[in-house]
Structure 1
Amino acid sequence: MSERGLTADQIDTSIAHPARMYDYYLGGRDNYEVDRQAAQRIISALPSIVTGARANRAFLHRTVHTLVAECGIRQILDIGTGIPTSPNTHEVAQRVEPTTRVVYVDNDPIVAVHAHARLTDAGHTAFLPGDVRRLDEILERVRAEKLIDFTQPVGVLMLALLHFLRDEENPAAVVARLRDALPAGSYVAISHGTRDRATMENFEPLAELADVYRHATASLTLRTHAQVLGFFEGFDLLEPGLVSVSSWRPAPDSTEPPWIGIYGGVGRKR
């Protein structure tokens, strides 16, 4: 039994899990045959999913660097962190400021197993099992364990997460609840899949994408620019606003295509 009450034998290997599929897209090995089969179905229909996953990961790196180096953030809550893939959030943050605290949260037991093995031995890091659908439990836990000081600004990452919440689960209300819990001057970073710019030619691959995730542990809901922008109510977006993740402050030598079907943005609480 781990310190958080999770064991490796709790991992369900009969149903594909988005975190393990994402690991496969990134070329990782922390996945199972069911995850590989599901991910390969998507890659066959929509090869750009691999480019998208890598672009989303690069967006995470640029976002974390911006929060710590430019915005002065010294504590980060990474919700839906996924299986650790170096450089991880704390590695990027602590290269800028070694005292930056990072708290990782995820609902997949395999993430917990790997997080305890790879992340929590690093200084100023912690991992909590938790589901964004029960955000109050996460916030209560980080307060009770004094992992995050809510009297000081916090950077919250919700990357490739909210598209796994169905409309009836009201992701906008989840973000609003988070916003209300954060002190002014805090930041939230969101990346979210979209079907904007989809054409008749690529509608079928998107249907395959939706079907695969429908049979995984979390279904996928692609949303429009306007819908994703709505999650930032009460936040002021940093430049360049809500754009494709590959177009959010790209490195000068970036070779990523300017359009990836994932929107990304970072907002500052007023």
Structure 2
Amino acid sequence: MDRAPGLNPNVPSSARIYDYMLGGKDNYDVDREVAHRMLAVAPDTRTLAWFIRKFLVMAVRRAAEAGIRQFIDLGAGIPTSPNVHEVARKVDPSATVVYIDNDPVVRAHCDALLANAPGLSAMEADIRRPHEIIDQLKAESLIDFSEPVAVLLVGVLHYVMDDEKPYDIVAAFRDAMAPGSQLIFTHTSDETNSEFKSRSHEDTNKSPSQVIYRRPDQIVAFLDGFEALSPGVVPAQQWLEGDLPKTQMVMYGGIGRK
């Protein structure tokens, strides 16, 4: 989910940097250069990328097992298997998934992946205009908001600056959700290694990949109006099985139920 999306090999893209961290091939030199500078400061950043991916898979599976059959993946990024629909449909083959991103390159990847599969859709839209997204989802009968839905904001909200009203984005979807719905999200913490934060600011300032590191209490506030599921809003690896190590970049994960 980029601020100024598009196919630009001269400007780093959050989607393409993440793709590189996960071992993908849909990235450019500029993305790899930023990733390498991050890895030079915090080599475990690639490990964290996999923790976040595992968090997403775990959260989608849990939501599907709880009976949710509709999923909205906001800021979906370049598809990485297992994708949301692969996880959800392993529980229930009838699950509906809408992938949303404002980057036309991501949209093209999603269109190619889905190939007119029933119940799976891709939408090019900006999460900073949540009411427009919700209206379009309703108008095109892609999501039935009278039934529970899982809304994913994984690796997205820290790219939304304060003046772009990130809490209003979450509130718009929360208010549209039926009871039993879930919000699944991650967010970078200001507890991240200070050198890493400085490096990322230098590399991404005024670019589509500019990041804001929020305090833990600010991250928890995204679940206002939701019931936080256990273990709460905590570093993402605490949601996963095993005694996983801390990382220099700190990323919180949380799941809220309406």
Q: Which residue is 1:7 aligned to?
A: none
**Whole-Å separation in 2 of the counterparts to 1:107 and 1:123:** 22
Match for 1:244: what amino acid? Answer: P
Match for 2:106: what amino acid? Answer: V
Residues 24 and 30 of structure 1 are in contact (CA less than 8 Å); yes or no, is this contact kept in structure 2?
yes
Of 4, 23, 29, the residue aligned with 1:27 is 23
Residues 190 and 264 of structure 1 are in contact (CA less than 8 Å); yes or no, is this contact kept in structure 2?
yes
Shift of 1:12: 2.1
Q: What is the CA deviation profile of residues 94-127 of structure 1, one whole-angstrom value per residue up to 9, with x for unaligned ones? A: 0011000000001111111111111344442100
Residues 76 and 102 of structure 1 are in contact (CA less than 8 Å); yes or no, is this contact kept in structure 2?
yes
Note the residue ranges of structure 1 that are not aligned, 5 or more in a row. 1-9
Note the residue ranges of structure 2 that are not aligned, 5 or more in a row. 1-5
**Whole-Å separation in 1 of the counterparts to 2:173 and 2:67:** 20
Q: Which residue is 2:3 aligned to?
A: none
Q: Which residue is 1:100 aligned to?
A: 95
Shift of 1:217: 1.2
Match for 1:102: what amino acid? Answer: V
RMSD (CA atoms):
1.5
Shift of 1:40: 1.6
SS at match of 2:38: helix
Match for 1:34: what amino acid? Answer: V
Shift of 1:141: 1.2
SS at match of 2:129: helix
Q: Using the aligned pairs only, state the percent identity.
A: 40
TM-score (norm 2): 0.93
Match for 1:57: what amino acid? Answer: R
Of 197, 202, 219, the residue aligned with 2:210 is 219
Change (3 A) 1:79 1:216: same
Shift of 1:213: 2.1
Q: Which residue is 1:81 aligned to?
A: 76
Q: Does 1:265 align with 2:250?
A: no
TM-score (norm 1): 0.89
Q: Which residue is 1:5 aligned to?
A: none
**Whole-Å separation in 2 of the counterparts to 1:91 and 1:81:** 14
Q: Does 1:158 align with 2:153?
A: yes
Q: What is the CA deviation profile of residues 43-90 of structure 1, one whole-angstrom value per residue up to 9, with x for unaligned ones? A: 222222211111100000000000001x21000000011100000000
Correspondence 1:76-225 to 2 at 5 A: 76-196=71-191, 198=192, 202-225=193-216
Shift of 1:215: 4.6
**Whole-Å separation in 1 of the counterparts to 2:207 and 2:139:** 33
Q: What is the CA deviation profile of residues 172-229 of structure 1, one whole-angstrom value per residue up to 9, with x for unaligned ones? A: 1111111111122211011001122x5xxx4122210222221531310011110010
Structure 1: 4+ residue segments shifted above 6 A: none
